[in-house]
Amino acid sequence: MFQWIKHNNSAYKFKILDYTYTSEPSINSALPIKFSNIKFIFYIIGILLSAGFLWLLVKWSSRKRAIILFNVCSLEEATHFLIE
């Protein structure tokens, strides 16, 4: 029911192989997500009610954007990936 809360569930994640040899952090996992039209409608209403604060929150944080606008799905249905 509350699928958008379970972004940290390891069952939805798949591992990315690390072949980088630099000092920058590597990609640990990618979460398959797809765009939700219903969440987008609520997002627009939230922007209007919060006088733009919700828009700023989504603009600053890609993780918050994924929680607010996308649903976790299977790998075959994914339109986007949330990279950690």
The domain of 16 spans: 9-83
pLDDT tens per residue, range 11-42: 555 555 455 455 556 667 778 888 889 999 99
Total number of domains in the chain: 1
Give a yes or no: residue 3 inside a domain: no
Distance CA 73, CA 3 (A): 9
Which pTM value belongs to this model? Answer: 0.61
Which residues touch 68 (CB under 8 Å, ≥6 apart)?
39, 43, 46, 54, 57, 58
Mean pLDDT is lowest, of 2-6, 22-26, 62-66, for 2-6
Mean pLDDT of all residues in 49-75: 86
Give a yes or no: residue 2 inside a domain: no
The partner residues of 70 in beta bridges, in order of sequence, read 35
Which residues touch 49 (CB under 8 Å, ≥6 apart)?
none
State yes or no: pLDDT of 2 exceeds 50: no
Amino acid identity, position 83: I
